[in-house]
Amino acid sequence: MKARRHLFALPFLIFWLGAWTIGGFSALTRLINGSIEESVGRYFTIFWLGGWAIGWLLVFFTVTWMLFGKEFIIIKSQAIIRYLNLPLLSKRRYYNPLNVSNVRAITQFAGGRRGHLDIPIIGKSEAVAFDYGSKTVRLGVGLDEAEAESVASAIRDKLGLKGVSQ
């Protein structure tokens, strides 16, 4: 499944990333050149650059996910395998079907609608869930309700689970 591209968010985040990059390098240059005179200003700039770096990485990951991200879900009798792929970065998780129960499509989270940007790093943007031992596993980033129910049904069928709450 390819990651969804949001028509407003993607151009906005690309613009924001460019402006944020210029601002961060400007602050870093001023810090290195010694043009920040007072020690409080230098400490604040160092602190701000830490937050700048975290924000930059989160937005960069978000934009990269929207442009190039893919999620693969492979359902076998021996394992459920989930791949999250980005260029030069991927994450693979295996789940033993013997520990899988209560496979379901998620249409809404307690706090409102499902994830706004459908980005794995933000969390809770996935549309399919199952209980795995004492934990809940979520997958299917950015699926709509019909797609999520189709994936949940395929998992239940492949693993021989009946109904929603097994």
pLDDT of residue 20: 94
Whether residues 18 and 88 share a domain: the answer is no
pLDDT of residue 160: 81
In a domain, 92, yes or no: yes
In a domain, 80, yes or no: yes
Whether residues 97 and 152 share a domain: the answer is yes
In a domain, 166, yes or no: no
Whether residues 57 and 131 share a domain: the answer is no
pLDDT of residue 142: 75
What is the per-residue pLDDT across 79-93, written as a single tens digit (0 to 9) for each? 889 888 888 888 899
Q: Say yes or no to pLDDT of 24 above 60.
A: yes
Whether residues 52 and 126 share a domain: the answer is no
Whether residues 19 and 83 share a domain: the answer is no
> What is the domain range of residue 48?
9-68
The count of domains in the chain is 2
Looking up tokens 């033993």 gives: 96
Domain boundary among 68, 91, 117: 68
Whether residues 42 and 13 share a domain: the answer is yes
Whether the predicted model's global pTM rises above the 0.85 cut: no
Confidence of residue 111 (pLDDT cuts 50, 70, 90): very low
Q: Say yes or no to pLDDT of 110 above 50.
A: no
pLDDT of residue 112: 45
Whether residues 84 and 54 share a domain: the answer is no
Whether residues 120 and 153 share a domain: the answer is yes
What is the per-residue pLDDT across 131-163, written as a single tens digit (0 to 9) for each? 998 898 888 877 778 888 888 888 888 888 765
Domain boundary among 27, 50, 68: 68
SS (H, E, C) 125-148: CEEEEEEECCEEEEEEECCCHHHH
Whether residues 96 and 53 share a domain: the answer is no
Whether residues 30 and 107 share a domain: the answer is no
Domain boundary among 22, 47, 68: 68
Q: Where are the alpha helices (DSSP H) in the chain?
A: 9-33, 39-68, 145-159
